[in-house]
Structure 1
Amino acid sequence: MEIPSSTIHERLNNRRFSVANNTQGLSGAGTVFHYQVEGEAISGTYQGGRIRIGQQVGRVTGAHTIELLFQCVTTENELLAGWSRGTVGVDDAGHTTLSFVWGWLSGATGGGESRYVEIAE
């Protein structure tokens, strides 16, 4: 289901997301992502599971697309940083979904694909 470009702010701002699929990454079932959107700028935090604390910064790149840089400290005290390009969507239940292709820039190698779904309030 597609969403109009004017709703990326509405779909992400002050909303929380959990991991739906991230087999190659560190975030998992216990990780919660919280986003803020100001104009076309995006910021966020994440923690839980293997992530002690994480931060994100990015921008809106299209009607349904965003790109982010992220960094985190893991529960094993690793310092990691990476990039991601994502698509904002809506599932059949009306919850916002995020689908990313991502890769590591520092602290690890490789990358993958991941999917997140909005946590219903």
Structure 2
Amino acid sequence: MNTAFSHISERMNNRRFAVAQNAHGLSDVSTVFHYHVEDHAITGTYQGGHIHQGHLVGRATGPDTIELLYQCITTEGELLAGWSRGTVGVDHAGRTTLAFVWGWLSGATGGGESSYVELDP
């Protein structure tokens, strides 16, 4: 079924992503994000590096845009929560890319921009 959010589902559902750039965040090249998409709803988990365990929930807001809320516990035992708004794209090699503007809601202050690239299956 082709919906307004089909592109996001095709590009993100049951796919894993790693950090390409995240100068001001906790996730790094060893953090893996695993997304699931059903209709416009997005869920996922992430862990690795400074992140012991993280969970996220969000929604598609347009044909290639998403917004997420995330929470995690760090390897140092900190409990953090934040928000992000992003764009789903494709790089020159055909891999899905994610680009976000994000900020902390609880446990830390500040925010930044980050980008992610799909890992090979």
The normalised TM-score by structure 2 is 0.95
**TM alignment of 1:36-75, pairs within 5 A:** 36-75=36-75
Q: TM-score, normalised by structure 1?
A: 0.95
**Residues matched between the structures, number:** 118
> How far did 1:16 drift?
0.1
In 1, the alpha carbon distance for the partners of 2:38 and 2:64 equals 16
- Structure 1: distance between partners of 2:96 and 2:80: 27
Identity %: 71
Q: Which amino acid aligns with 1:42?
A: I
**Any residues of structure 2 matched to 1:102-121 within 5 Å, and which?**
102-121=102-121
**What are the Cα deviations for residues 24-54 of structure 1, in whole angstroms up to 9, with x where unaligned?**
0000011000000011000000000000000
> Does the residue aligned with 2:76 lie in a helix, a strand or coil?
coil
Find the aligned partners of 2:33 and 2:85 in 1 and give their Cα distance.
16
Q: How far, CA to CA, are the matches of 2:71 and 2:5 in structure 1?
A: 27
Give 4+ residue runs of structure 1 displaced > 3 Å after superposition. none
| Matched residue type, 2:17 | F
Confirm whether residue 77 of structure 1 aligns to residue 77 of structure 2.
Answer: yes
Q: CA deviation at 1:6?
A: 2.3
* Aligned equivalents of 2:18, 2:41: Cα separation in 1: 21
Corresponding residue number in structure 2 for 1:89: 89
Distance 1:56 1:101 in 2: 15
Once residues 46 and 13 of structure 2 are traced to their aligned partners in structure 1, the CA distance between those partners, rounded to angstroms, is 14
Instruction: Name stretches of at least 5 consecutive residues in structure 2 with no aligned partner.
Output: none
